[in-house]
Structure 1
């Protein structure tokens, strides 16, 4: 089994692709995913996800250990929870009314500079849970646990990193070198 140091329990989801075969689920549990609930059709393989409640010294260690264990068991990670939240969900998490949250968003109340929506929609826009958590804590508007803020931040960064690495595989070596020089 995977070795997990004691610490805080961090909750997140990891999305992955897996080969077909009944052995995959057993291999994941043996690699250390005993603290997760796995959703995958082992007969067909393909895309699946696992919901973790992992005890670790930090959010980064929780997510990184899950990725490493998954790779050891033969699955390829695609991403981790990008926590998109609606204004209603922000209100529920903060114990405020949706109207109060709408005032923060529009700047009618609060300190201003509320994070822009990641998925703008006419009726229900979606915001980055990580950005909103940081904004709320920085402005003293919600008592969120440090673990919730940390896992939101780590999941946002990890998800972006996994996506970037997957997309970069589509580049030729010359294109990759040129991109590396440009963003270094």
Structure 2
């Protein structure tokens, strides 16, 4: 089994009651493997879930979130800083900074998802793919698998919400399209 790192985005407001309910759901299952960041406009639940594959990990997390009374709106792969990259790739912080700036490595390091002056955030899936292809650091297939699963499940959640808003006589058309 692998550990998959991803975030489940939820519609707001997310209250302490929701966080407690999620804690109860997770405790009743296999234990708490999530952290809730919540507010009036929604929230993000960060998971590190152990499973046979990314699809199983993410779908089980979405199910747990919804069982706790929240509405999952999407799933994203883990965002990391240069320091996180160094830790996960098992290299020095200086090595990771050199890759980010292009001073070392083959070039073409992924652009930050969130650019900030001191600690930009990068997609771990993109970075790990770049590292794997460049044969730098210690990375594996799990991050790429997670990114693909996140994209697919986010699309499924979007379709599910959209179908619910369609007139009943049109729902079967969309269901046939995605079947």
TM-score bracket, shorter-length normalisation: 0.5 to 0.7
Residue 73 of structure 2 aligns to a residue whose secondary structure is strand
Alpha-carbon offset, residue 115 of structure 1: 0.8
Query: Structure 1 residues 94, 27: closer, same or farther in 2, change over 3 A?
Result: closer
1:77-88 superposed matches below 5 A: 77-88=72-83
Map of 1:8 onto structure 2:
2
> Could you tell me which residue of structure 2 aligns to residue 177 of structure 1?
none
2:96 corresponding residue in structure 1: 101
Q: Which residue of 2 aligns with 1:25?
A: 21
> What is aligned with 1:60?
55
Alpha-carbon distance between aligned partners in 1 of 2:23 and 2:101, rounded to the nearest angstrom: 49
SS in 2 for 1:65: helix
The equivalent position to 2:112 in structure 1, one of 106, 110, 117, is 117
Instruction: Please tell me whether the aligned partners of residues 104 and 110 of structure 1 are also in contact (alpha carbons under 8 angstroms).
Output: yes
Query: Aligned-pair distance for 1:69?
Result: 4.4
Q: 1:33 to 1:39 in 2, by over 3 A?
A: farther
Residues 64/167 of structure 1: CA separation in 2 closer, same or farther (3 Å cut): closer
Structure 2 residue runs of 5 or longer lacking an equivalent are 168-179
| 1:90-125 alpha-carbon deviations (Å, 9 max, x no partner) | 122223233322332333321111111222233332
Which is worse superposed, 49-58 or 136-145?
49-58
Q: How many residues align?
A: 164
Residue 140, structure 1, aligned to residue 135, structure 2: yes
- Structure 1 unaligned blocks of 5 or more: 1-6, 174-184
CA contact (8 A) 1:35 1:52 kept: no
- How many angstroms apart in 1 are the aligned matches of 2:9 and 2:93? 31
The 1:85/1:109 distance shift into structure 2, 3 A limit, reads same
